[in-house]
Chain A
Amino acid sequence: MKRSNIYILCLVLAVSALLVSCAKQLDLYPVNDLTPEVVYATPAGYKSVLAKIYGTLAITGNSGPAGAPDIGGGLDEGSQVAFIRGFFNLQELPTDEAVVAWNDQTIYDLHNLSWTAADPFILGAYARPIYNITLINEYLRESTSDKLSGRNISGSDASAITESRAEVRFLRAFNYWVMLDLFGKSTFITEENKIGTELPREISRVDLFAFIESELLAIENEMAPAKTIEYGRVDQAAAWALLARLYLNAEVYTGTPKYSEAITFSTKVINAGYALQPGYAKLFMADNDKQKDELIFAINCDGLRTKAYGNTTFLIHAACSQDFEDYGVSNGWGGYRATSALGDLFEDLSGATDQRALFTTSLFGTSTAQQQIADVGDFSNGLHVRKFVNIRSDGGQVSDLTKEFTDTDFPVFRLSEMYLLYAEAVLRGGAGGDNSTALEYLNRIRFRAYGESYGPGDIGRISSGDLNLQLILDERGRELYWEGHRRTDLIRYGQLTTGTYLWPWKGGVSSGTAVNSRYNLYPIPNNNLSSNPNLTQNEGY
């Protein structure tokens, strides 16, 4: 071998050695984000994922109030993908209980009952429950007894995690109920589905009803007994309350009435130890977490630690303008108020007799002229609602001293609904209940509403002769307005799209008009049809 060749060989070897030493590991991992193996190695990791599963109902992402949204896709984090805000928009805006002054994209279409499958608010409202369910399924996959034992989690840690599986299955059923009610069918995924590799299938309304029912019945006895679990989490009573609500609407959902079952499960809740507390307004104040005896399930909000633009922060800011101090916040967004049709449900709008009439503010009264909405875009027109406020009933400080974000929790299930639900199921022919109990329940609501009395001359008391279905609907309006029930109620009574009941600006006309019956359900958003060929559109869209 020539000497120069030896040199070259040496050189090649030297360079090769250098290359090998350079070819360092290309497997790099983030320092703050965690891999699933690390997350689920400890019980604390499970609890943080559980907190996320609850938290998706309260806030919109991993950075409060905004900045790390759960759901992207070009949707606005604050206004379009929040659970409470989205649910409120879709349940209240198409009804007599709410109109909005803003000019955000297609938001007028909601009150006008004229939305399309391209609507971004509907896209967000579809995305949120399914996102929540996706998280829940992941939790269920990672919390099986096999996985726990494989990770050396045992004893009380393991049993606590196992018990939480029933809770998250409740939350999955609840999110599916939202899909069932709004869209009449759903993308269907369970813990059997894999992430990122398969297209979910669609489930029909009847099958989804059956799934929700079977899940709730299955977990009923795995959940903590009513009123025993730590604050903020769901127990048995929540499952019963959701079953009762599901059965009350079963005829709409499946064509088969289940009023007897509605009576059975509402009775279970009523007998679980809850009681109406004096002071209706306190249920919607910043310290409503103290109303545990009445609230079966509420979504927790906190002005410092659970911040979003789409929870009660929205409900409170959007309802006020210059009169924001009445609402306990730092400013008003001047957006949402009710039509005069809500006002018409009350004999007295001042709140002096029926204390549920929370409509007077330092800026707006309740005169007939005030209630008229000449221009939907002018916030000063309409009946102003001062129901949700960021003021504590005990006069104490709210947690966010700047009063930008609110502490008020959003009630999902509360005792009054169960009373009303029982009464309606009885009137609709359900077995297992009776009229006199129904009347008694309604009068409990009235007694509290009129300030632990029935008002002067007992004007608030309902007599057995008054008891009829329309009264129940109206009473639901008075008791539950702005809590996300109205659209479901009007559909059950056949009044959402038909001409039997008109309210201002229904169908985009100031005097109100009937609209196509397709608006009883929301359309499946176009984007979802494109990305998942297994999905089908609702009729008429």
Chain B
Amino acid sequence: MIRLPKHRHLAAAALLGGLALLLILLAATGRARITTDILALLPEDRRDVAAAAAMTQSRNAFFNDVTIVLSGPGSARADIENALAQLQEYLRSAPLSLSPPGARMAALQDIYKQNPFEWLTPQDRAALGADAVETMRLGLGVNLARPGNFDPADPAGFVSAFVTQLPAPNDDWTFLGDVPARVANNEIRALINARLTESPLDPAVQQQLSDLLASSERAVQRACEQCALHWTGAIRYSEATRKAAERDIKLLSTMASLGILLLFTLTFRAIRPLLVTAGTILSAILAGLATSFAVFGTVHVLTLVFGTTLLGLCVDYLLHFMVHRWAHADDSGAAALRAVAPGLLLGLASSVTAFLFLLFAGFPALSQLAVFSIAGLLTAWLLVHLCLPELLTPGTANNVVARLAITRVALSTKARLVLLAAIGMIALTGIPQLRIVDDVRGLQAVPDALSDDNHFVRTTLEGMPGDTGNADFVLVEAPDLDTALEREMQLLNSMEGPDGFGLSRFLLPQGAREANLRAYAALFENDGRQLRLILSAFGFRPALADDLVARYTTSTADVTPSATLLAQPAFDAQRTLLVTVENGVALMTRIPGDVRIPEQMPWARFIRPLEKIESTFSSIRQRGTIAVAAAWLLMLSILSFRYGPVGGVRVLAPALFGACVAVGFLGLAGWPLNIFSLVALILVLGIGADYALFLREGAAHIGTARLATTLAAATSLLSFGLLAFSSLPALRAFGFAISIGILTAFLAAPLALPLMAERKRASQRMDELDEAA
């Protein structure tokens, strides 16, 4: 038997004060952050570090990107330009960094022109290598004859040729001022790509940006009636999900609270049980939060939502104590606690065992959930022991109400079996229709307006360099940057079809740049004698030759390392394609169409991030299921030790049946089985086991045990069942599965009672009725 401290209230106050202090300290030191990034719940991939790092880098870039499209009819070009100016004015006050692609390209061209002899197309390098003098002479002649501009620093146009081969938008794209615009089908779409300067997960930043874009949309429409503004980005999805969650929490929690208030009022006719219950749940949440932040630092919002939900389990502890206390008002609080304590301890042990297994499943999502729930449940259990016996004193008038309620919840065993068989049969028909889906994107709440805007922006981006219509990429690994660039060039050259997009298209490896310099060698021998002859023949002053010879000499004396070039701001956009890992580097290369990597390139791998994420979620689901099954076997051993093997199975069977029925009904309703359904099933198993356990342990006072279980089921259905009406698909499926599972487990729970007790139950019930009368 557990020995309770003498000064129970002081101990409880110390516990809660300590937890509050811990939470404040963690918040003050920045170790109490909440994230909405669902992918942060995934485990680190230690088997494929390079791919994991590339995916993380790509995801981080995507997370901070905001893409805005201003569209209008081709006939309203002037109005669109005015509207665009208005929009740009508004965006200046947004937490965004705007870097027009024209300016980025100009900065790159400046880099190329600093050392013009290092940058050649493969064709020009081959031609120069074969006959540098004749190639220069022809190049110069052609460049002067073409009706285009002429840059003396690039007399034969070789750098220009290199620049024009860089990845560029297709012919549909032009510019409105410094903004790229797609002109097609008599429609103009101006594209603004921006990067957030503050966290996209910060609600204040989300609100600021959406308010600002709403204002700018009105300004845009004043300037151009036929124009429309479309925008997308992770920040908008995050805001939509957060707002939907907030709306749901407000609405559903208010409804659940009102329902529970009504239930408690009708049952106990007193406000104190409700206040004590609310206080205990809040304390459990406080403990869950403080412990999770202390262990993990950053906790996902879903951990909080699901964790708080799981803490609904602790209401059962309170209800069992309170119902017993109310039903046996003449007994002391300590006596009531002694009567229900074994059941509470077993309930706690079974839940903690299940969560401990989740903790060791090795996935951050499940680990966070487990730590949150274990800390919350332990705190609630402790508070029941420390505070409840003295806090709750029933009035005599309430006894009648409580006992009358008992009479209305009984159902004969036969009727129960028939009802359960019918439910089981219906659930069975749903099993074949059950789908297992691990792509969690479908579980996001995406408003139609956002979905339409996102589609509009994505279709606008078609034809932009690097846009392959998906997140797939080829990962080119190498021990160093130059080898990686060379390998990527080799890969891109081997590909048929449209050109790929990679860093080596913009930054030639040092070896290639040295080879380019060597290709010019014949022109610059003897102080550039051949070059001087050619330039002189076209009428150029000697000063131009002097300048070019000096540049060439400087370049060959000190070829800039690739890493130094890449570190320059002009390469900001391209730098995101490089991933640095422990044993070298990797380049992310985007290749449109079918990608078949030649066998002789073992250093290149095709990566499909979505497939990898799905596979990780699938893995979490499978390992979570195994962990829960293992926990159940352990619980079965513990319960078998107490009730014997058959008794143990009987206690656990109702919950298992409830979980199976929930799975069947998920199939019938067309909801997929995924990681969120798994959490729901864990809850059904935990709560269902508690119902049977409490009935079994309360067999001596079966009436009160049954009333407590009924109240527990009703509160659970009110709390979790209402989630079935959430606007978030993930919560909807979760609430639906829990409602069905809990209801079934509740109906099946009396089957866990020993046969003898079942026989005794009728006579005991009569006794209680007599007393009530």
Do A and B truly interact?
Answer: no
